[in-house]
Amino acid sequence: MRSVLVLIAMGLLLVESGGRFKSARMPEVVAATTTSSAAKARVDFDTQLKPIFQSKCMPCHFSGGQMYDRLPFDKPATIRKLGTRLFTRIKEENDRRLIEDFLTQSP
* Helices (runs of H) and strands (runs of E) counted in the chain: 5, 0
Residue 97 pLDDT level (bands cut at 50, 70, 90): very high
Indicate the domain borders of the chain: 2-39, 45-104
Angle at 37 between CA 31 and CA 85, to 5 degrees: 100
pTM: 0.62
The mean pLDDT of 59-80, rounded to a whole number, is: 96
Packing angle, helices 93-104 and 50-57, rounded to 10: 130
pLDDT score at 21 = 47
pLDDT in tens, 46-68: 999 999 999 999 999 999 999 99
